[in-house]
Amino acid sequence: MLGLVEGDVPRKEPRLVAATPQAFLAMVKAFREDLVVAVECMFTWYWLADLCAKEGIAFVLGHALYMRAIHGGKAKNDRIDAHKIAALLRGGMIPMAYVYPHEMRATRDLMRCRNHLVRKRSELIAHIQNTASQYNLPPFARVQDFLSYCRLVKPKRESAGKLYGHSGRKIGNAHRSGPSGNWPPRSCVPTPGPSSCTSGSRKSTAR
């Protein structure tokens, strides 16, 4: 959504414009003199910042959270947002965010992605450890044993891109029955209702 304001008068009503350099430049062609472009700090501003730098157009990146605090209103849509951003820029009240240099963005995005994945990994490990501690169960000796126990690996029989069936339907049963002693029998895992924990028994209420 693109809105143009000159002085206190909107030159064009906010309208949808294709997110391409050609469409943007055609839209602002008649207003290039002293033009300042302001956008909300979201995940789509990279290409526009680079285009403005290439074309010599002043570019302002507005802080999304702080702008919301300034022009918070009951009605909100892209058309209203475009006009509000232009009004904040014209009045000198737009809270600016840092326009990260083009050559450093990839490193920052990589670090952000790594931080997200590390946090997710830690969350999953903690969940597994807490579940084992909840039932006072020893950990698996290998990751493969855990995958087998959870039945996360589903073998397939296929050739030349054609699926001929599945195998290993009983995968994980060896660990669920606990013959090696590394994991208690499935029948010993606490379940709601009457318990029938009998080591070595195939009968169980847990499924």
Residues ≥6 apart with Cβ < 8 Å to 118: none
CA–CA distance from 26 to each of 4, 21, 34, 40, 120 (Å)?
Answer: 13, 8, 16, 21, 44
How sure is the predictor about 7, in pLDDT bands with cuts at 50, 70 and 90? low
Does pTM surpass 0.75?
Answer: no
pLDDT at 133 over 80: yes
| Mean pLDDT (whole number) for 175-200 | 46
- CA dist., res. 177 & res. 188, Å (int): 9
pLDDT at 109 over 90: yes
| Mean pLDDT (whole number) for 51-57 | 93
Say whether 145 sits in a helix, a strand or coil. Answer: helix
What radius of gyration, in Å, describes the C-alpha atoms of the chain? 30
Tokens for 189, please give them: 């895992």
Count the Cβ atoms, other than its own, within 10 Å of residue 88: 18
Looking at per-residue pLDDT, the higher value among 120 and 170 belongs to: 120
- CA dist., res. 140 & res. 145, Å (int): 6
The half-sphere exposure of 136 on its side-chain side, counting CA atoms within 13 A, is 2
| DSSP at 142 | S
Percent of the chain with pLDDT over 70: 67
User: Hey, where are the domains in the chain?
Assistant: 2-99, 138-207
Dihedral (CA of 84, 87, 88, 89) sign? positive
For 34-65, b/e burial (b = at least 16 CB within 10 A) is ebebbbbbeeebeebbebbeeeebebbbbbee
| Residues linked to residue 157 through DSSP beta bridges, in sequence order | 165
pLDDT of residue 80: 79
| Mean pLDDT (whole number) for 51-55 | 93
Helix pair 46-55, 21-28: axis angle to 10 deg: 50
| Mean pLDDT (whole number) for 27-55 | 89
